[in-house]
Chains A and B, each alone.
Chain A
Amino acid sequence: MAFYLTKRAISLLMVLLGLAVMIFIIARIVPGDPARIALGPLATATQVEELRQEMGLNDPFYVQLWNYLSGLVQGDLGKSLLTSRPVMDDILQALPATFELVLVTIILQIVISIPLGVLAAYYRDSWVDNVTRIISLIGVVTPGFVLAIILQLLASYYFTFFPVAGRLSPSLDFQASITGLLLVDSMLAGRPDIFLDALRYIFLPALALAAAGIGQVMRITRSSMIDVGSRDFIEAARAYGIPERVVTLRYMLRVASVAPLTILGLEFASLIGNAFIVEFVFSWPGIASYGVRTILQKDLNAVIGVVLVSGVFFVIANLAIDVLLGIIDPRHRIRGEQSA
């Protein structure tokens, strides 16, 4: 296991390095002068020159790349032109809100889609199966922002209990200072009222974000359960007279959960992408809102930082899933150790 983890960690570092270099190159080869873009067409040539000097744009390319990479290692992403603060500080401030949203989304995806997928497989070809098939299709084909708007519409007419913007009622004064996650910190501080209020706010954005993944994971769970259900060891368990319910939940689900977990990892990239939209619609003060704001202002350092951080997010999530799979299914771990 230790060897496996080391190997994975090294390949993770490789991917991250490649990602950083690539994003840097893309940001530098785009036509136009970043300093000019940042200052706008009205700035004078001297102002542009000063900013170029300050941003190090006059140095040779390899010096810029080196400075950028060595800055990255120390957690320095440069200064944001929009807020004139270090990009890292801005991102760290916005990150907990996004992290909380993504976490709740994934929990929603797992608790909704896996049981429904199991049900669909258990009652295969019945009306239960057909209903879940339609739910999953709707989830997959509905664009995140369309769903977000439909949810907002429903909330403003029928479910006024759910707020459509923000993270917490303005009347409640609470600083999430321990982990930055409102749901966790409110419990640690012994404030269930804050917890419930935060839950009310996070529900709709998380649901809008979860829909696409729910559809996919549900289908994969179903087909994986059906696939596992015909294997010899399951037939053997049935032949021993173990009740079908127990066979399904204790024996099949463990093996069948490998495929949906893999999909959850791959879905993560589109999850982060969709978070941009959903945070924007629900005015959620996370990294994606920050990203959209800085992109509209052409704040290049901040944009690079946001893309890089979301890439890191994705890579780490996949590593975590890989490790989890290794625990659930030892064959996965062994394959990973054997392949070069």
Chain B
Amino acid sequence: MTSHSQFDDMRQQRTLTSRQMAWYRFSRNPSALVGSAIVISVFIAAIFAPYIAPSPQSAGAHVDFVNRHSPPSWEFLFGTDNVGRDIFSRVVYGYRVSLGLVLGVLGFAVPFGVVLGLAAGYFGGRTEFIIMRFTDIMLAIPPLAMALAITAVLSPNLINAMIAITLLWWTWHTRLIYRIVRAQMAEDYVEAAKVAGASHFHIMFRELLPNCVSAISVKISLDAGFVILFGAALSFLGLGVQPPTPDLGTMVSTGSEYLPEFWWEALMPGLAILYAILGFNLLGDGLRDMMDVEL
């Protein structure tokens, strides 16, 4: 009787669902754990900004000359800026702008890049030649230089920064998906679908795409950090979000005028950018190890 129940236990242990298995591997991966904790905290800050920020009015064109240039303290966690606004509150609101940018850019660039990569890998021949050469050319343009040029000509604001980054971002996804699809084309299941008379659409989106999902999700996580970096770099140069909207890059740029005495005004928003990028990177690295994909 006892030996029988032990056997049952063993059987039960072995039949972990794939979801349990994924959770087990996730919880054993320190990089993924820390990364997702950071990412979640950034999302919480952005979503609940009005409740978290100790001084929500600091997010706008608020002025408090009595407290200008105050160093970090319990009252002002990250100190105050040149017009006395609480930097911590501005950082919390700044995450809203950063995450909005990420959603906007990846929401357009990823589907576009993925579809082009699928088409190039699946159809091959002339389609492949045109798409991949075009991608190569786009990859040869230094992204920041191009984004600077576009936002400058189109007048600098958040939407144009988003457009400029999106226009250049899809190329990496096209390349990645193209490479995966090319490798998958030789697999039997693709051949079987063809023989069974499946449509091009079915093979591309129902057969090939599911095999790209893990690579895409890792790439998206790593991308999110770099989109934040990119947007911050644009507004650091004065070509992104315009004041008084609290943007982390703009805050670093304004703060750097008061270096080195009032160091917190540039350093704190800078570290806040670093924190968010670190989170997305760790999460992406962790997911990559877990799902064992190569980018």
Contact = CB atoms under 8 A, between A and B. Distances in A.
B142 interface: yes
A273 B143 contact: yes
Contact of A153 (B154, B260, B274, B278): B260
Interface in A274-288: 274, 276-277, 280-281, 288
Interface string A101-114: 00000000000000
Contacts of A152: 259-260
A144 B233 contact: yes
Contacts of B145: 272-273, 276, 288, 291, 306-307, 310
B151 to A, nearest CB: 8
A270 interface: yes
A292 B236 CA distance: 12
B150 interface: yes
Given A32-B153, A276-B237, A298-B152, A143 B143 contact: no
Contacts of A15: 136-137, 140
A128 interface: no
B143 A157 contact: no
B233 A145 contact: yes
B150 A22 contact: no
A292 B237 contact: yes
B225 A272 contact: no
Interface in A132-149: 137, 140-146, 149
Contacts of B282: 137
A310 to B, nearest CB: 5
A31 interface: yes
Given A30-B150, A143-B229, A307 B277 contact: no
Contacts of B281: 137, 140-141
B71 interface: no
B119 interface: no
A157 B142 contact: no
B256 A149 contact: yes
A149 B142 contact: no
A14 B233 CA distance: 31
A296 interface: yes
Nearest to A314: B140
A269 B226 CA distance: 14
Interface string B266-284: 1100110110011001100
B152 A296 contact: yes
A188 interface: no
Interface string B207-250: 00000000000000000010001001100111100000000010
B146 interface: yes
B252 A146 contact: yes
A315 B140 contact: yes
Contacts of B144: 270, 272-274, 276-277
Given A273-B144, A310-B142, A314-B142, A143 B136 contact: no
Secondary structure dominating the interface of B = helix
B263 interface: yes
B73 to A, nearest CB: 20
Nearest to A219: B285
B19 interface: no
A226 to B, nearest CB: 14
A19 B145 CA distance: 13
B98 to A, nearest CB: 12
A311 interface: yes
B236 A291 contact: no
A141 B141 contact: no
B204 to A, nearest CB: 24
B142 A272 contact: yes
A153 B140 contact: no
A23 interface: yes
Contacts of A157: 260
Given A37-B153, A142-B274, A295-B148, A156 B141 contact: no
Contacts of B229: 143
B134 to A, nearest CB: 8
A300 interface: yes
Contacts of B259: 149, 152-153, 156
A31 B153 CA distance: 8
Contacts of B233: 143-145, 273-274, 277
B142 A146 contact: no
A140 B260 CA distance: 25
B133 interface: yes
A141 B153 contact: no
B140 to A, nearest CB: 5
Interface string A3-41: 000000000001100110011001100111000010000
B203 interface: no
A273 to B, nearest CB: 3
B47 interface: no
Interface string B120-134: 000000000000011
Contact of B236 (A156, A277, A304): A277
A303 B152 contact: yes
Contacts of A137: 278, 281-282
B137 A143 contact: no
Contacts of B137: 15, 18-19, 22
Contacts of A31: 154
List 3 tightest A-B contacts by C-beta distance, closest first: A273-B144, A146-B270, A18-B137
15 contacts: A18-B137, A22-B137, A26-B150, A32-B153, A37-B153, A145-B236, A145-B249, A269-B142, A272-B144, A280-B237, A288-B145, A296-B239, A303-B153, A314-B140, A315-B140
Given A150-B267, A273-B143, 9 more contacts: A26-B149, A142-B277, A146-B252, A152-B260, A153-B259, A269-B142, A272-B142, A295-B149, A298-B152
